[in-house]
Structure 1
Amino acid sequence: MSKRKDKSSMVKHFEDLYHYAAGPEEMLAQVLTGHLAIEFLMRQLVFMYDQRLASLADELSFARLISLLRDLELVSLQRADVLMQINKLRNRYAHEIGYAPELADLLPIFQDAKSAFTDYSGGLKDGIEEMSSSKGVHSLEYKYHLSELFLAVIYDLHQEYVARGGDEETPTSHSLS
């Protein structure tokens, strides 16, 4: 028997579905935009590594893109693991209608990210502290912890891009769409 919760009961009427689709929760928006920004930077890293791989990278799924970055040694195994956890979180939103993460879904990602990425703002540390003492996601006092997670990842990937010769301000034009 699957451990997945049946969320189909949240859609009792099509109007419920419309509200779900039209009014995404704050966390959903943070996960989707963060995931897209990370994916964009991963493609930029591949382009900086070897422009001939850009078209291949553009065709890869997020998970396969992580594998490529790992194989090319553009990200460490530790960072690749965090990126896979982020992808799993995004996939749960994408494939489980009504998915709402619990602290047990988020806390391990933050803990691993704190070890793998630079916590410039202290947001990962603060998120871990608050989640460790909170009773649930909806009781979190600071609702932008997910943004802090994505900013830490994005910042470090951007720094890697610049270290490999990328312009600090302007991404390569091959994948701006």
Structure 2
Amino acid sequence: MENSKKISSPLELFGRAVDPSNFISTYILGHLWIERLLFHIIKIKTGKSERAIERLTHAKLIDLIDSLNILEPLQLKTLRKINQTRNKLAHDISYDFSITEFRSLVHLAQSAFSDMTDGFEQTLDELEGKANLNEVSDFVYPEIFMQIAYDLEAVYVELGGKIDSFK
């Protein structure tokens, strides 16, 4: 992989896996947040059982949302890109998501989703002048997911879901 680096020792592997400030853990949790919202949007829209929906991969959830014409094409593109990146992060411990890739993803999300609390803008401001994600304040890591979640929650409510409940 182009921006992967080799992990040269078990100690280096351990350090990467347990780093509490690691971008990876926030990204994977954000991905799960989006997945849960997609799950409930599909459940309320289709009436499918939870068991049937739980069998779907994240990519299949996005495909089903696409087939139901619930989201705009640019939103779907953003969700697919987030999922592709999550797969790289989850399956290659040496993969380093570059600040350029993150900036590009934030721009894509900004063009597709509302910026309810200026989270995209704050993230882009924080990325300015930084060479890698280790230099970035970790407060911006969840912002991309938060802004997307606002729009997905709005879709859920428009479909008849309750803002404060998945029941």
Same fold, TM exceeding 0.5?
A: yes
The one-letter code of the counterpart of 2:146 is: L
Of residues 103-112 and 53-62 in structure 1, the stretch that sits farther from structure 2 once superposed is 53-62
Aligned pairs for 1:49-88 within 5 A = 49-52=45-48, 54-88=50-84
C-alpha distance in 1 between matches for 2:30 and 2:2? 27
Aligned mate of 2:121, from 101, 114, 125 = 125
Q: For each residue in 1:3-46, what CA deviation from the matched residue of structure 2 results, as whole angstroms up to 9, or x when unmatched?
A: 363x4x31423x44334333354311210110111000001000
Q: Does 1:3 align with 2:2?
A: yes
Distance 1:3 1:19, change over 3 A: closer
Question: 1:82: how far off?
Answer: 0.6
C-alpha distance in 2 between matches for 1:110 and 1:97? 22
C-alpha distance in 1 between matches for 2:20 and 2:80? 23
Aligned pairs for 1:8-157 within 5 A = 9-13=6-10, 15-52=11-48, 54-140=50-136, 142-157=137-152
The corresponding residue for 1:166 is 161
Normalised by the length of structure 2, the TM-score is 0.89
C-alpha distance in 1 between matches for 2:55 and 2:159? 22
Task: Determine helix, strand or coil for the equivalent of 2:142.
Answer: helix
Question: 1:76: how far off?
Answer: 1.3
Of residues 91-100 and 75-84 in structure 1, the stretch that sits farther from structure 2 once superposed is 91-100
The sequence identity of aligned pairs, in percent, is 25
Q: Given that residues 103 and 131 in structure 1 are in contact (C-alpha distance below 8 angstroms), is that contact kept between their aligned partners in structure 2? A: yes
Q: Given that residues 46 and 53 in structure 1 are in contact (C-alpha distance below 8 angstroms), is that contact kept between their aligned partners in structure 2? A: no
Distance 1:75 1:53, change over 3 A: farther
Task: Determine helix, strand or coil for the equivalent of 1:152.
Answer: helix
Question: Gaps spanning 5+ residues in structure 2: where?
Answer: none
RMSD (Å), alpha carbons: 1.9
Distance 1:49 1:87, change over 3 A: same
Distance 1:63 1:24, change over 3 A: farther
Query: How many residues are matched?
Result: 167
Question: 1:129: how far off?
Answer: 3.3
Task: Determine helix, strand or coil for the equivalent of 1:144.
Answer: helix
Normalised by the length of structure 1, the TM-score is 0.84
Task: Determine helix, strand or coil for the equivalent of 2:163.
Answer: coil
